A and B are shown apart, each in its own frame.
Chain A
């Protein structure tokens, strides 16, 4: 088991609502990445946070936003929920190495979001 925790484990929302998902990174890690995993697919990168700033983003619309706090924990916020946002949301923590290289990403258990 990694030291990455996520809350809540499951969540049901209706279309148009907003949701906040939380992630605590593993001890010693300063970087958090968020992924969306649809059923039967591999995880897709949403964005990464380092030093409380977004420093990389995948192909997701602006209604997906995030925060990182001084203790390196992070939040993923999704506004105006759509049915297709139903998925497993994963966060992964890692260390940022010298030269901007990232170390291995360790994943949390995920939050299962269902949008009705």
Chain B
């Protein structure tokens, strides 16, 4: 089955800097990946997704890069703001219908 894991449990950045959050996955057949943001006391919020036929996808201030060769994806946040402080999860479909496998998350802290 699939497993996903984030490289760092915590990340601290200065306001205005760019943030990069990394994630590794195990199943080379995985064809869909999602990034979620979870603020304290709230449910995960969809940020951006990417299909395996793409290497890069951009959203508003966010970019996801997918490297299928090394089974790695990253989330880049440009000009990080205090409102970006949250736990970020990467997720991928698991073996069961409807199952998303989540990593443990990276807690992003933004210093003013």
| Residues of A bordering B, CB below 8 Å | 2, 4, 31, 33, 35, 40-45, 47-48, 50, 55-58, 90, 92, 94, 100, 102, 104-110
A55 to chain B, nearest CB (A): 5
B101 to chain A, nearest CB (A): 8
Contact (Cβ within 8 A) A33 B44:
no
Count chain A CB atoms within 10 A of each CB in B43, B91, B100 and give the residue with the most: B43
Contact (Cβ within 8 A) A55 B97:
yes
Contact (Cβ within 8 A) A42 B104:
yes
Question: Chain B residue with minimal CB distance to A102?
Answer: B98
With beta carbons under 8 angstroms apart, the residue of A42, A47, A55, A109 that contacts B102 is A42
Contact (Cβ within 8 A) B89 A109:
no
Chain B interface bracket (under 10, 10 to 19, 20 to 34, 35 or more): 20 to 34
Residues of B69-112 at the interface with A, using a CB-CB cut-off of 8 Å, are: 89, 91, 93-94, 96-105
- Which are the 4 A-B pairs with shortest beta-carbon distances? A48-B98, A42-B102, A56-B97, A107-B43
Given A106-B46, A109-B42, A109-B43, does the pair A45, B104 have CB atoms closer than 8 Å? no
With beta carbons under 8 angstroms apart, the residue of B89, B93, B96 that contacts A42 is B89
Assess whether B34 is interfacial by the CB under 8 Å rule. Answer: yes
Please indicate the chain A residues that have their CB under 8 angstroms from the CB of B43 in the complex: 2, 4, 90, 107-110
Contact (Cβ within 8 A) A105 B104:
no
Assess whether B67 is interfacial by the CB under 8 Å rule. Answer: no
Given A58-B99, A105-B100, does the pair A45, B94 have CB atoms closer than 8 Å? yes
Bound-complex Cα distance A115 to B44 (A): 23
Bound-complex Cα distance A100 to B96 (A): 12
B104 to chain A, nearest CB (A): 5
Contact (Cβ within 8 A) B104 A56:
no
Contact (Cβ within 8 A) A45 B100:
yes
Question: Chain B residue with minimal CB distance to A107?
Answer: B43
Assess whether B15 is interfacial by the CB under 8 Å rule. Answer: no
